[in-house]
Amino acid sequence: MRISLESPAQPDVIQLIDDLDAYQKPLYPPECHYGIDIAALSVPNVLFAVARDGEGTAIGCGAIVMEPEFGELKRMYVRPENRGQGIAAKVLRFLEGEAMARGCAMFRLETGVSQPEALSFYARSGYARRGPFGSYPDDPLSVFMQKEIAS
């Protein structure tokens, strides 16, 4: 497996995002879905990582939107058939490393109450719950988390 920064505007990566949406959208009402689209993932302040298997197939992805004060984790996803192999943790570490190399020392995210696996994964990865940030409303279906890297 290899992980690298890539354009999200590739057919196999677009399929990963579509699969993520197909999983998440039924869990929450439309006004509580905060995923960003391929165009928003393609802007210069976004680090978009793709995990590919030995055959070059996209099996996972994730992004960090670099804001002035923090990096926001978005669009983390691993194909169901590839879960349980540590891919998400490797993508997360890769993204955090790339962001830290660019001066980022604080990471934030929003995920949903109906995604216990994601909540457990982020907690194991050092993220702690916090209140809403940025333009997010105080949504009872959202869980906000943060991780600060000691300098």
- Sorted by where each starts, the structural domains of the chain and their CATH numbers stand as 2-105 (3.40.630.30)
- Which pTM does this prediction carry? 0.95
Cα dihedral sign, 32-34-37-39: positive
pLDDT of residue 26 exceeding 90, the answer is: yes
Q: Mean per-residue pLDDT for 91-120?
A: 97
Cα 105 to Cα 90: distance, rounded to the nearest angstrom: 18
Residue 63 is predicted with a pLDDT of: 98
- Categorize the per-residue pLDDT at 150 as very low, low, confident or very high, splitting at 50, 70 and 90: confident
pLDDT of residue 48 exceeding 90, the answer is: yes
Cα dihedral sign, 142-114-8-85: positive
**Do the beta carbons of residue 102 and residue 87 sit within 8 Å?**
no
Closest by CA to 49, choosing from 101, 103, 18, 87, is: 87
